[in-house]
Structure 1
Amino acid sequence: MDSAAVETFEAGRGRLASLAYRLLGSAADAEDAVQDTFLRWLAADHERVEVPEAWLTKVVTNVCLDRLRSAQARHERVAGAWLPEPLLEGDPMLGPADTFEQRESVSLAVLTLLERLSPVERAVYVLREAFSYSHAEIAGILDISKSASQQHAHRARIRVASERPRGSEADPASARRVVEEFLAAATSGRTERLVALLTDDVTAVSDGAGLSKRLLEYRTRERVASFVRAGFKPTPAKRRLAGGSPSIHIALVNGTPAVLAVLDDRVVGAVAFEVRDGKVASLRGIAAADRLGRLSEVWRQHESDAPVIDAW
């Protein structure tokens, strides 16, 4: 094995993983794409590779596009049982977060919206917004013309902007306070206070702990409040499903506050919140074990705050 080639690859592994995660919305799939890229890199004629970073970016992007276009991936996503895999703040796979565009491109809300784009539109959007590639560079990566890259980017921006409600963005401390108040209302059963903390266009989505073939979706403040009350109420059946009585923590997931249920250093459930104008605009509940593996792994390495509820 060429140690210099391995060293070159490892120097860019983090960037490739964060690119693949944004393209696929899955940490496990992103890791597979990066590993596939690594194997292709080892088999490549390195003397003919002028710029390794560009070569690796092109390969990992096209590996991801192949995955997005596959029949299995289309079925999983079109079937309506798919949510992006949540990542804990500090996870290197989240990648660059210096600009608003970079931070938003990895939010669960935008990752969900990107599912509605074509694979090429998604790739152009991510390469342009999150990694600041020029349209000439994107054209080379995707083997399209520069004008085609510009057109794809324009359509993608319009689609994302039209389906993403706008309002004043909450800073992390303010958003956390809203979630803390929301959690207090949810666990106390104060429905009126819950309703008051929701925006008029609030939505809630749950994967049903992986037990449902489709996502469970709720709209209107009253229905979302009812769903939340039921969801946050502990029952013997829920404890059996979780394997015990988890502690409840508030942490940042994909840049937004989330409520995490943790049992024996393993995250068994996550509810991610989007806060807008001082209220909760959306909730995404994820409890399927295959979507929480990396979150649990990073959680074990993370110095967490004290739980807001010791035993749920």
Structure 2
Amino acid sequence: MDDSTVERTGGLDADALARRFDADRGHLRAVAYRMLGSLSEAEDAVQETWFKLSRTDVSGVANLTGWLTTVIGRVCLDMLRSRGSRREDPLDHHVPDPIVHVPGAGDPEHAAELTESVGLALLIVLETLAPAERLAFVLHDMFAVSFDEIARIVDRTPAATRQLASRARRRVQDATPGPGPDARRQREIADAFLAASQGGDFEGLLAVLDPDAVLRADGGVLLAGTSKLVHGAEAIIRQAVMYASFRKASLSIVVNGQPAVLSVVDGKATALMAFTIAGDRIVQLHVLADPDRIAALDIPQEALDRAVYPD
């Protein structure tokens, strides 16, 4: 690297610049995941941010992490706007990409960064926001970026940007479920639902489902006929076919910090059901049955081999 390039990159050579970027990679991935709800698109956004860094004069940048945060915000905003014009899957039953942790199998290096305070229910609400609203809310409320900085990304005044975040915040607060019990109790409730569904126990299901619970099932393109949005506990219970695969071998997992179960057939993952629990009831069920996205979860075979059949 010649002297002019070292000066342009703030005195860092190529290896040092790459190490400096890697130090912020987890943070940038977390920003992008909240913005996009897609793990693959989040990785694309991180890579594009690296390209922009490598081509930009950052010698005068005092806070490189802050600079990278605004850059990836702009990249994600462009991706959201492009996605809106070509989206194929209806938002009403779309399930964002889950981040899966298999207890006992070790966490991915960045799992904690991605899952902290970002359950599937919140990601679903974020999907309903306009791109600029989502950006303003995510960057300001989740990552403490100033409205002055966000305003430059969305090409609005700071006051107008503050209004974007305020509208988004109201939407999020109105639509996000309340807090749930501790992790152990949440797993007990999820297991009770599974046991009742496997045993055809109607009363048992009513006992753990909130009367206004919502089931969201996403079969993707290949299983589009299974995609649906179901409102109300009794209507959910009538969807017995949705739980058929979970009566086979299954594996208890954690998805975005919340209890979930993975259906396993012939040593392969086939579907995922995640639970959002508020108070002491299940308020949302998220079923992902899209074969392509299930295959992309990359669950260790050792974990899949530990799947058990119901008693």
Task: Quickly say closer, same or farther: Cα 1:3–1:294, change in 2 above 3 A.
Answer: same
The structural deviation recorded for 1:290 is 3.1
The 5 A counterparts of 1:105-124 are: 106-124=118-136
**What residue is the counterpart of 1:268 in the other structure?**
270
Partner of 1:199: 210
CA shift digits 1:40-72 (9 cap, x unpaired):
222222324443222221221111111110156
Q: Measured at CA, do residues 95 and 141 of structure 1 come closer, stay the same or move farther in structure 2, by a change above 3 Å?
A: farther
Distance 1:60 1:294, change over 3 A: farther
Corresponding position: 1:208 with 2:219: yes
1:283 and 2:285 are equivalent in the alignment: yes
- Asked if structure 2 preserves the Cα contact closer than 8 Å seen for 1:87 and 1:94, the reply is no
Question: Is the 8 Å Cα contact of residues 24 and 65 (structure 2) preserved in structure 1?
Answer: yes
Comparing 128-137 with 201-210, greater Cα deviation is found at 128-137
* Greater CA drift, 210-219 or 22-31: 210-219
Kindly indicate whether the alpha-carbon contact (under 8 Å) linking 1:203 and 1:219 is maintained by their aligned counterparts in 2: yes
Q: Which amino acid aligns with 2:274?
A: A
Q: Residues 248 and 262 of structure 1 are in contact (CA less than 8 Å); yes or no, is this contact kept in structure 2?
A: yes
Residue in 2 aligned with 1:231?
A: 242
Which residue in 1 is equivalent to 2:5?
none
Question: Quick check: 50-59 or 274-283, which moved more?
Answer: 50-59
Deviations 1:186-222 (A, max 9, x none): 1112223212221110110111364117831111222
Aligned AA (1:27): L
**Code of the aligned partner of 1:300:** P
Q: Deviations over 1:129-182 (max 9, x none)?
A: 22222333433554433222321111111111222343x522111110001111
Residue 218 of structure 2 contacts residue 224 of structure 2 at CA under 8 Å; is this kept in 1? yes
State the match for 2:300 in structure 1.
300
- For residues 113 and 78 of structure 2, the distance between their equivalents in structure 1, rounded to whole angstroms, comes to 22
What is the count of residue pairs matched by the alignment?
A: 292
Distance (Å, rounded) in 2 between the aligned partners of 1:295 and 1:150: 37
Are the equivalent residues in 2 in contact too, given 1:191–1:226 (CA < 8 A)?
no
Q: Is 2:43 the partner of 1:24?
A: no
Q: 1:267 to 1:305 in 2, by over 3 A?
A: closer
Once residues 267 and 30 of structure 2 are traced to their aligned partners in structure 1, the CA distance between those partners, rounded to angstroms, is 25
**Larger Rg: 1 or 2?**
2
Q: Letter of the aligned partner of 2:256 in structure 1?
A: N
Map 1:24-173; keep pairs closer than 5 Å: 24-70=36-82, 74-76=86-88, 78=90, 80=92, 82-89=94-101, 90-91=107-108, 92=110, 95=113, 103=117, 106-166=118-178, 168-173=179-184
- CA distance in structure 2 between the aligned counterparts of 1:149 and 1:302, rounded to whole angstroms: 48
What residue number does 1:7 align with?
19
Contact 2:248 2:264 in 1 (8 A): yes
Displaced runs of 4 or more, over 6 A: 301-305
Contact 1:79 1:214 survives alignment (8 Å): no
Distance in 1, Cα, partners of 2:301 & 2:48: 26
What percent identity do the matched residue pairs reach?
34
What's the RMSD between the two structures over aligned residues? Answer: 3.0
Task: Give the letter aligned to residue 145 of structure 2.
Answer: Y
Please name the residue that 2:8 is paired with.
none
Measured after TM superposition, the shift of residue 246 of structure 1 is 6.5
TM (norm. structure 2) is: 0.82
- 1:77, distance to aligned residue in structure 2 (A): 5.2
Q: Is the Cα contact below 8 Å between 1:246 and 1:262 reproduced in 2?
A: yes
Question: Aligned to 1:179, which of 159, 166, 190?
Answer: 190
Q: How many angstroms apart in 2 are the aligned matches of 1:135 and 1:79?
A: 28
- Equivalent positions of 1:218-257 (< 5 A) are 218-227=230-239, 229-234=240-245, 247-257=249-259
> What secondary structure, in the 3-state scheme, does the structure 1 residue paired with 2:100 have?
coil
